[in-house]
A and B are shown apart, each in its own frame.
Chain A
Amino acid sequence: MAKSTIKLRTKEKGGLIQVKSLITHPMHTGLRRTKKGDKIPAQYITEVMVEANGEPVITANWTGSISKNPFISFSYAGAKGDTVKLSWKDNTGKSDSLEKIVGKKK
């Protein structure tokens, strides 16, 4: 199985679930060039969707202005045992997703 591009951490504190994620992705703007002078085609995540128990919590629409290996952090009102799912897709059609149960290891 290919390794997930998503690292996802959740932590419950006082009725809030802190969600942090780091995604492996080059986030090419499309404006940079290689050392040889060839253009590196644009490849960046356009949408990150986070759901808790199937309900959308936060959706991020990103551009090439987000750094390589993008990071997102936020919190929502929830409880241990929630299933948090993060999925992304990029402008070239690539995508990935990962699920995690809050309070459960791995």
Chain B
Amino acid sequence: MNKLFTSFALLAIAFSSFITTVNAGTPAEDTQALRGYFQKTLGSKANLDEFINGTYALNEDARSQWEEIEEFPPYEIAIDDGSDIWDKEFKNGKSFASCFGDDISSIRGKYPYHDEAKDTVVTLEGDINKCLKDNGEKPFKWKKGKIAAVSAFIAYEGRGGKIDVQPKTEKALAWYNKGKNFFYAKRGQLNMSCAGCHVYNANNQVRAEPLSPALGHVSHFPVFRSKWGELGTLHRRYGGCNKQVRAKPFKAQSDQYKALEYFQAVMSNGLVLNGPGARK
């Protein structure tokens, strides 16, 4: 643990001279700037379509292991579980289809979106639990287990769709900016931002591990991490990242993480949805 601390601390110290100010760009300008940055730093490796595969787009040895796992990925078991949960009737005789409709393949691509009336960002997991509550069922726990299984099933059915999240209204833009600020703000004892690792050090290593570029992060969740030995949601991963920089993690589905998901989705607009994913 000390070693890890040192590695991060060195990164933090070294990059404190690169203080990045969050400029007031529009979503389109920000997206272009981020992609331009990766184009410049990653060069020929920065094939836009490949960002959905994270570090596997950049590291051949890791990629070959990932491809082996994808030959028969462990998340297939969870997809089956999710499908069963989807089909199961609630006590009132309804099921998830009563909230989401019967066209399962169109669901994943709708999220996250900004709800103007309630002025909040709505996530897929948020709506899964809302559906349960609205039908008198007990909501699932947020980060893993049943919610991840249903989310994985929906993601799997929605594979091939494209991320398309457009903040158009002033309120939606405010959420976007909130997410953007979160992404660039330093936090924790190590004083690191999301961008510190996943933009400025993308494809550099923290000890033995290459850091994934931020672009495409949201495309493949929920993810079966070998480290977890199970599926977890995007917000579970956010919490883990925050802990790694010695910051107190926010709760899954907190406004902070919903805003972050919203911002990251905008950055990844046009990329293919390829969840659920398998990661180390």
Q: A interface vs B, CB < 8 Å?
A: 3, 7, 9, 20-22, 24, 68-69, 71, 73
Contact = CB atoms under 8 A, between A and B. Distances in A.
Interface stretch (B74-82, B106-114, B136-144): B74-82
A9 B72 CA distance: 9
21 contacts: A3-B80, A3-B84, A7-B72, A7-B76, A7-B77, A9-B72, A20-B71, A20-B72, A21-B72, A22-B72, A22-B74, A22-B76, A22-B77, A24-B77, A68-B229, A69-B74, A69-B77, A71-B71, A71-B72, A73-B71, A73-B72
Please classify how large the interface on chain B is, using the bins under 10, 10 to 19, 20 to 34, 35 or more: under 10
Nearest to A26: B229
Contacts of B229: 68
Contacts, number: 21
Centre residue among B72, B74, B76 by max chain A CB count within 10 A = B72
A9 B76 CA distance: 12
Nearest to B226: A67
A80 B180 CA distance: 55
A69 B80 CA distance: 14
Interface of B: 71-72, 74, 76-77, 80, 84, 229
Nearest to A72: B72
A71 B80 CA distance: 17
Contacts of A9: 72
Given A7-B77, A20-B71, 10 more contacts: A3-B80, A21-B72, A22-B72, A22-B76, A22-B77, A68-B229, A69-B74, A71-B71, A73-B71, A73-B72
A25 to B, nearest CB: 11
A3 B84 CA distance: 10
A14 B92 CA distance: 52
Contacts of B77: 7, 22, 24, 69
Nearest to A23: B77
